[in-house]
């Protein structure tokens, strides 16, 4: 089983390194803008152990040999990457997308009509400390699924491989529901921590509770219009739980702010704002965060 990881960001290198450690012999395909002078990468594990991992870097022409292709990219890079690599992908390959926010399944299917495409959601924390050096900052879990029905054979192998590499990975038949849960968490944690330059745990302070409640309420209304039922208090509890577990972490959007990089706001609060327009719903708090982040960058 030939596996290729696309993306040399913190999460891409986390999956790549653990696939190497578990003897799955993956390859790594880096972005064109990457400057590659290294032959190894370094992984500092959650318990502060340092591992040196050999890099097996390939070019896009070698993608045709891959059985599983795992894209770990920013949400705004997913569709451009799929369009760039589509011609090189084996029609029988399983493509796994790992990113924040939500991308319309129809947009993905338009680019990859023949391949099996899965969605990977993860709560693992990873921080990039150099070009090919990361620290595993938080132990989480991952969920794998497809927005359309797949056979057991189509998902059993990738689920098993990913679970061996970085457990736990659970197959979810209703991945859309879990995407919305993660979207809500991102809609709260990412913009507020970025705009206020705070660690995730600061959101547990009373001063943020009213805003968190309002953001989550708006998301439940938009989700309901999309036939996704989210229970408000449970959603709020999920957000606060993640903020607590990742209390000392820097959110990805805050890191983007610090590095003066583009954010994923269009696919997070921007996604809620766009759907709200389609359903003629008011989402003033999500809109405000979307506008503030968009104007700040």
Rounded CA-CA distance 272/175 in Å is 18
H or E stretch including 11?
helix 10-21
Those residues whose C-beta lies under 8 Å from the C-beta of residue 8, and which sit 6 or more positions away, are: 28, 30, 31, 34, 131, 132
Residue 23 appears among annotated catalytic residues = no
* Active-site residue (options: 114, 182, 214, 248): 182
DSSP conformational letter for 172: -
Q: 232-245 vs 209-225: helix axis angle to the nearest 10?
A: 130
Question: What would the two tokens of residue 108 be?
Answer: 């993905």
Those residues whose C-beta lies under 8 Å from the C-beta of residue 82, and which sit 6 or more positions away, are: 71, 95, 108, 111, 112
Share in percent of the chain as helix, strand, coil (round to 5) = 50, 20, 30
Rounded CA-CA distance 244/64 in Å is 42
Give the residue numbers annotated as catalytic, written as ranges.
182
């Amino acid at each position: 089983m030939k596996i290729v990881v696309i993306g040399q960001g913190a999460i891409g290198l986390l999956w790549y390194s653990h696939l190497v450690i578990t003897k799955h012999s993956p390859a790594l395909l880096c972005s064109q803008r990457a400057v590659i002078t290294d032959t190894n990468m370094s992984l500092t594990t959650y318990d502060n152990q340092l591992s040196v991992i050999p890099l097996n870097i390939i070019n896009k022409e070698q993608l045709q040999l891959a059985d599983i292709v795992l894209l770990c990219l920013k949400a705004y890079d997913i569709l451009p990457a799929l369009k760039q690599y589509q011609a090189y992908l084996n029609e029988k390959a399983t493509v796994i997308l790992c990113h924040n926010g939500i991308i319309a399944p129809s947009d993905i299917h338009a680019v990859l009509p023949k391949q099996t495409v899965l969605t990977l959601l993860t709560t693992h924390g990873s921080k990039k400390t150099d070009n090919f050096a990361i620290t595993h900052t938080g132990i989480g879990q991952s969920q794998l699924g497809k927005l359309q029905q797949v056979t057991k054979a189509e998902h059993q192998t990738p689920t098993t491989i990913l679970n061996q590499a970085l457990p736990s990975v659970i197959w979810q038949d209703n991945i859309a529901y879990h995407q919305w849960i993660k979207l809500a968490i991102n809609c709260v944690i990412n913009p507020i921590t970025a705009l206020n330059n705070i660690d995730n745990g600061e959101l547990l302070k009373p001063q943020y509770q009213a805003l968190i409640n309002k953001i989550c309420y708006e998301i439940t209304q938009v989700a309901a219009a999309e036939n996704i039922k989210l229970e408000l208090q449970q959603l709020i509890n999920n957000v606060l739980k993640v903020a607590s577990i990742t209390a000392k972490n820097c959110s990805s959007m805050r890191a983007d702010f610090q590095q003066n990089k583009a954010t994923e706001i269009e696919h997070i609060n921007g996604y809620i704002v766009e759907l709200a327009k389609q359903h003629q719903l008011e989402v003033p708090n999500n809109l405000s965060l979307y506008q503030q982040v968009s104007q700040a960058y």
